[in-house]
Amino acid sequence: MAFDLVFFGGTGDLTWRKLMPALFQAWRHGSLPLGGRILAVARDDRDDAGYRAWLKERLAEADSAKRPSDDEFEQFSRAIHYLRMDLSQPADYARLTAWLAERQADTVVMYLATSPHLFPQICEQLGAAGLNHERVRVVLEKPLGHDLASAQEINRVVRSVFSERQALRIDHYLGKPAVQNLMALRFGNVLFEPLWRRERVANIQITLAESLGVGTRGDFYNRTGALRDMIQNHALQLLTMMAMEPPSSADADAIRDEKLKVLRSLKPFDAVSVARDVVRGQYRAGNVMGQAVRGYQEEDKVPPGSHTETFVAIKCEVQNWRWAGVPFYLRTGKRLAQRHSEIVVNFHPTPHPIFPGSHAPNRLVIKLQPEDGLELHLLAARGTERSVFNPEGLEALSPVSLDLDFDKAFPTERVGAYERMLLDAIAGRLNLFVRSDEQEQAWRWVEPVLQAWKHDPSGVKTYTAGTWGPPAASALVARDGFAWAEEA
């Protein structure tokens, strides 16, 4: 299939750190369709050879297993081209049109790897240049807007140029193999479905933890914060996949319809519930993995006295028959104890215990990163009890676990998140992309939290780098009689 893939922001960090390496891996694996051209667009004054040389230097920084050899890069880079463009100039879009017209590719994908504030301008210019015909798709990288109003404005402009099926809003978390297995776990197996409801589930915890700080992104992060950066998109998408009803088919809209229903069922926040059910924190100096690290306010490009949150913990509820009364706890943060993303389903204890001793209820752990797998925590008898003073003959149970490591179960190299998303964009598969109404509903849900924080900027709590966040986050869960997984 002949395709043209255009990267706006062709010299930006996202393109050379994520997108180009993902395309190279697809090429190396033989999954990138033949006959494709890749065009990097930026303001720098370069030609094809200059851009290829620059990109080769960047890719040399990749992990050794994913680094191209000289021969591999020479072959791969034959498909890579460069076009200097000023994104505000119609004449430059005419040059892009002429380049694309050199052949009639089956598919043209415009990937907007730029700041979101440029999305409306680029889309309007593409429409004016006639680059919105049926063979064109546009990929919009997150964050899509800064709040509900800005997201709606971006979507309004995008819809004026492209149809909904042409606009692909990317959330790379949805491309992770472990997240794909959420769908397989729920809708490819019959085992858990009868248990997947309020009668059996006590609570669900979603943790997206990072041990790194903000690094060189201090200016961006200070304008964004953890709620916008991780909760509004990644965490809520995971929540919808955990809570959604079985879709009628694998069609993209059937799946996205069910996810939207979950977002619309989330109990809305007001000023009182924000104060009660949301904890925000900011890391101070501490020790991570045996190394002393700076606090957030000492990081580069972070203004003194910043109130931006680097940690958020939220208790929320899906108000429908399946999940009524079941707390969902969402948590994300920078400079936490370890890099650790997982979903924990805690089940109710047995209704009538007959074995001696106290035992933790069963739980299912869905590991997202750095490990990728499933753990099912159960109880079992050791079979070593010999006491004559046990008239019932029942011994205390011991915890055991069934552990499935997907990397061992599937020893061949698995498809990375951006590799999958790029291949899906080229093929026109929409299942892993977020629809505009989903995205706007997610913003609508977090908007009261943003507003409450705006009127109470001093409410951010500090936590020591290398810990699991402010003590208030533990208290949030303990109030309901539960504990975070690492504290249980």
Is 146 considered catalytic here?
no
CB atoms within 10 A of CB 233: 24
**Whole-number Å distance between alpha carbons of 205 and 478:** 13
What backbone phi and psi angles, to 5 degrees, belong to 299? Answer: -70, 155
Decide: 260 and 247 in contact? Cβ < 8 Å: no
Side chain identity at residue 20, one-letter code? M
Half-sphere exposure of 264 (CA within 13 A, CB side): 8
DSSP-derived secondary structure letter, 67:
P
Amino acid at 430: L
Cis peptide before 120 (omega within 30 of 0): no
Q: Which of 234, 307, 340, 348 is catalytic?
A: 234
CA atoms within 13 Å, Cβ hemisphere of 208: 21
With vertex at residue 41, the alpha carbon angle to CA 436 and CA 15, rounded to the nearest 5 degrees, is 65
Taking the C-alpha atoms of residue 333 and residue 350, their distance in angstroms, rounded to an integer, is 34
CB 71: neighbour CB atoms within 10 A? 8
Name, in order, each residue with C-beta under 8 angstroms of 454's C-beta and a sequence gap of 6 or more. none
Active site residues: 234
